[in-house]
Amino acid sequence: MRKSIAVLCTFAALLSHSYAAEYKAVPDWLKLPEGRPALGNMHGDIAVSSKGDIYISTMDPKAGVQVYGADGKFIRNLPDAPADFHGFVIHKDKDGEFLYGARLGAQTIVKLTLDGKEVLNIPASAIPDEFKVKPKGKDGKEGAPVLRLTGMDVAPNGDLYVTDGYSSDYVHRFDKTGKYIKSFGGKKEPYGFKTLHKIAIDTRFTPARIIGCDRANMRVVHMSLEGEFLGVIATDLLLPAAVTVQGNYALIGELKGQVTVLDRAGKVVAKLGTNTAADQAGKNTVEPAKWVTGTVTAPHGVAFDAKGNIYVAEYSLVGRVHRYDKQ
């Protein structure tokens, strides 16, 4: 039987220290539609619209993006949405609110209305081959250039920034029409990235910056919007995989079983859901019978709502989303 004991998930509770922010895990908050036993295989992301609707991506071809209300009730599936959104955001433009996503399988960048209509599609060919990895075959010859786009965000001026976190570790920049501008980052110094998994625009600074999850290096970094490496924000994280920013806080989802809230200076203000079980942390195979409310397994997407409540999408064969309400 699934455990559903509500827990107060604060760093204070975990380590007996005092921190600036407290959150309470909400048990069984998500209400699946009739006839759907589980969210579905998840290796994607989560975002909240200005209305408070929660968009969750799965790998289900018939329900690639599912939409739920703030009360947890199912609203609809997004028609024709792809089932390979690895990282996506919801962003307000001058002409409305849109979903921008990087497709892991198709390796395209798309912009959709919140009703699912495609209004922009940037193909892989828009990125110069010099910034792509060319894997070598058994014969030693280089194969076709490969992209493995994993995350993206939209700058205040509408420019798009997309990270190739599973391949080259470059960030690719486009203008709001989809025109390619430049690429920067990569595995060489001064960047030295090892799986720049997901990124966000950090609006806590003027001018805004890019905040990125350098996963295998266990760190979170800053870059300028022009691509200059600005420095390391936090280290010794548990495979940081996802990031979003709201107000003074940056929310980090750590694939190895933890969620951390950082302030503008990079100081920890809360840690949520820490999972130390070796057979669970970082795994996508944990069965619902072993779930504990508020304890994460493999955070892969994170989001705030307007009230500062936190949502965490798991890397999970079954599909699971946590909610932590700000106290």
How high is the pLDDT of residue 14?
41
Distance CA 155, CA 181 (A): 14
pLDDT in tens, 268-312: 999 999 999 999 999 999 999 999 999 999 999 999 999 999 999
Residues 6+ apart with CB under 8 A from 228: none
10 found inside a domain: no
Which one is predicted more confidently, 243 or 2? 243
How high is the pLDDT of residue 140?
80
28 found inside a domain: no
17 found inside a domain: no
50 has a pLDDT exceeding 90 = yes
196 found inside a domain: yes
- The answer to whether 132 and 91 have CB atoms below 8 angstroms apart is no
* Range(s) of the domain holding residue 160: 36-244+297-319
| Residue corresponding to tokens 């107000």 | 247
| Residue corresponding to tokens 């090892």 | 194
CB atoms within 10 A of CB 158: 13
Position 22 confidence tier, pLDDT thresholds 50, 70, 90: very high
Q: Which of 229, 183, 244, 192 is nearest to 214 (CA)?
A: 192
Residue 53, exposed/middle/buried by CB under 10 A (0-12, 13-18, 19+)? Answer: middle
Distance CA 190, CA 204 (A): 24
125 has a pLDDT exceeding 70 = yes
Q: Which two tokens stand for residue 183?
A: 């690429």
Distance CA 152, CA 3 (A): 35
Position 184 confidence tier, pLDDT thresholds 50, 70, 90: very high
Distance CA 178, CA 196 (A): 22
How many residues appear in the chain?
A: 327
Q: Which of 188, 311, 202 is nearest to 246 (CA)?
A: 202
pLDDT in tens, 72-94: 999 999 998 999 999 999 999 99
DSSP letters spanning 6-20: --B--HHHHHS---S
DSSP letters spanning 125-184: GGS-GGGSB--B-TTS-B-S-B----EEEE-TTS-EEEE-TTTT-EEEEE-TTS-EEEEE
How high is the pLDDT of residue 20?
59
287 found inside a domain: no
113 found inside a domain: yes
Distance CA 251, CA 91 (A): 17
Helices and strands counted in the chain (H then E): 1, 24
The CATH number of the domain holding residue 226 is: 2.120.10.30
- The answer to whether 326 and 25 have CB atoms below 8 angstroms apart is no
128 found inside a domain: yes
Residues 6+ apart with CB under 8 A from 250: 200, 202, 204, 211, 220, 233, 243, 244, 261, 262, 263
The Cα angle at residue 90 between residues 119 and 94, in degrees rounded to 5: 65
How high is the pLDDT of residue 4?
40
**What is the percentage of the chain residues whose pLDDT exceeds 70?**
94
**Tally of domains in the chain:** 1
Q: What is the mean predicted confidence (pLDDT) over 145-167?
A: 97
266 has a pLDDT exceeding 50 = yes
25 found inside a domain: no
Distance CA 144, CA 146 (A): 6
